Every structure is written in C-alpha cells, then in structure tokens.
Amino acid sequence: MNVVWRPTPNYRPGREGRPVTAIVDHVMAGGEVGPDAPPTGSALRSVHFSVLRDGAIHQYVEEADTAWHISAVERSRHPIPWLETPGSDVCATVNLSTIGIEHEGHPGEALTPAQFRSTVALHRHLLDRWAIPLDRDHILAHDRLTRRHGAGCPGPGFPWDGLFSALREYQFMDQERIRSALDSVLSVSAALSLLQSPYAEHLKGAVRAIREETGVY
Ligand SMILES: [Zn+2]
C-alpha cells in the first residue's frame, strides 16, 4: 500500500487516551474535501486519508492523532453501541475515536476498480493496526451519524457489500504464512541480486504484486 503523506495543520495531537475504535467512510462530493488538496480550506476540517479515483491514497493526519471529519452527530440516527456514552460530547467523541477516509467522487457514483482496491487495502491495514472489529458498527457511513449531507455520505454508490466481503476474505487468510513465504522469496531475491542476476527484480516485482493483491504487508 502506497501512501502519499500530505500533512495538514488541522488536527489535534493524540486522542485524549481513547483507542481508535472505528472507521468512518465519506465521499468528497465536490468540495467537502478537494480531490487532490490537503483539507485546509476550512480551518477546522480535516480527515486522515483520501482515496482518489486513480487509486492513490493521500494521508493528511497521523492515525494516532485526531482529525475533524465529523461536524455534527444526531442522536436520533441509528444508535451505535460504542458511542452511547451518556453526557459526553458525542461529536468530539466520534472524532477522537475514529479514522476518517474520504473517497474522490460523488454520492451515487461507483468507486473505480483502482479506488476500490486501494480502499480495501487501507481498511485492512487499519483493522489490523488498531484491532477494529469487522462489523457495521465499526466501519460506518458518515450519514449513519447525521443527515446533514443531503444526498448521503458516502451515498448509495459506495460498495459496502464488496468491501465487507473483501475484508472477510482477508480475515480468513493465513497472513503469517503469506508473510513468511514472501520473506523467503525476498531473501532469495537478495541473494540473486548479489550475483547480479536479472531474476532478482522479477522476484521483487512478484512479491509486490502478491502484496498488493492480498493486502498482506
Ligand atoms: Zn462525509
């Protein structure tokens, strides 16, 4: 997974001791966050990642820090078990507890194949790193929290079923076995490159392709 680091000043260091509990998926919807610009247009808006239509992933805020991608939460929206903390500022709690991912495009528009692959890889990485449960209370649509974005965010074009089935497949993969097999291939490739063999590059390319397809890094 290739991530381009494009830092924004719009974030809060740390998460006030809260764990990363969930991922919130958004669609940019022309202007919520520009397709290729760090989200600095509005002083208090930011997001951790954007996944662009060509599959590029841009990161603006460190995962361990708080981005401001949720500006309102309506309590009447579907209750979310981890969020029902009486008396807390719900909106702040969501930002402190989540990682936000924007997707270039409009509500109702399908992701491109490259964009789908990249967002699957990014979700896999986040589930692994933060031990986020794989269910719909922990991988959320922005509009599960508020109705403010008329057409919905990320909207009806977002491939929830495809995303969840790709993530479930990943959970059942023996990732350690794939990782150690790839490490063996890389050590053979290192030996071949000492011998200046052109096969070294072929093997490295094969490892890269398997990593991209499986999401195992
Ligand atoms: Zn949104």
Domain ranges for the chain, please list them.
3-172, 175-214
* pLDDT band per the 50, 70, 90 thresholds, residue 36: very low
Judged against a pLDDT cut of 70, whether residue 142 lies above it is answered with yes
Model pLDDT, residue 73: 83
The rounded Å distance from CA 24 to ligand 1 centre is 8
The rounded Å distance from CA 185 to ligand 1 centre is 42
Model pLDDT, residue 32: 45
8 Å CB contact between 58 and 40: no
Model pLDDT, residue 216: 81
The rounded Å distance from CA 29 to ligand 1 centre is 8
Task: Give CA–CA dist 91/93, Å, rounded.
Answer: 5
The rounded Å distance from CA 198 to ligand 1 centre is 47
Q: What is the pTM of this model?
A: 0.82
Judged against a pLDDT cut of 80, whether residue 206 lies above it is answered with yes
Q: Residue 114: how many CB atoms within 10 A of its CB?
A: 14
CATH topology of domain 3-172: Lysozyme-like (3.40.80)
* pLDDT band per the 50, 70, 90 thresholds, residue 212: confident
Q: When comparing pLDDT for 173 and 182, which is higher?
A: 182
The rounded Å distance from CA 199 to ligand 1 centre is 46
Cβ-based burial of 149 (10 A; exposed 0-12, middle 13-18, buried ≥19): middle
Nearest Cα to Cα of residue 163 among 120, 211, 106: 120
The rounded Å distance from CA 128 to ligand 1 centre is 23
The CA-based angle 100-118-214, given to 5 degrees, is: 120
The rounded Å distance from CA 103 to ligand 1 centre is 9
Q: Which residues pair with 59 in a beta bridge?
A: 5, 49
- pLDDT mean over 22-47: 67
Q: Catalogue the long-range contacts made by 157-161 (C-beta closer than 8 Å, 24 or more residues apart).
A: 157/27, 157/105, 157/106, 157/107, 157/108, 157/109, 157/110, 157/111, 158/25, 158/27, 158/103, 158/111, 159/110, 159/111, 159/116, 160/136
One-letter amino acid identity for 147?
R
* pLDDT band per the 50, 70, 90 thresholds, residue 172: confident
For residue 144, what are its two tokens? 């599960």
The rounded Å distance from CA 1 to ligand 1 centre is 23
The rounded Å distance from CA 100 to ligand 1 centre is 9
The rounded Å distance from CA 190 to ligand 1 centre is 45
The rounded Å distance from CA 168 to ligand 1 centre is 24
Q: When comparing pLDDT for 40 and 166, which is higher?
A: 166
Residue 64, SS3 per DSSP: coil
Nearest Cα to Cα of residue 95 among 64, 65, 70, 120: 70
The rounded Å distance from CA 179 to ligand 1 centre is 35
Task: Give CA–CA dist 122/119, Å, rounded.
Answer: 5
The rounded Å distance from CA 117 to ligand 1 centre is 20
The rounded Å distance from CA 48 to ligand 1 centre is 12
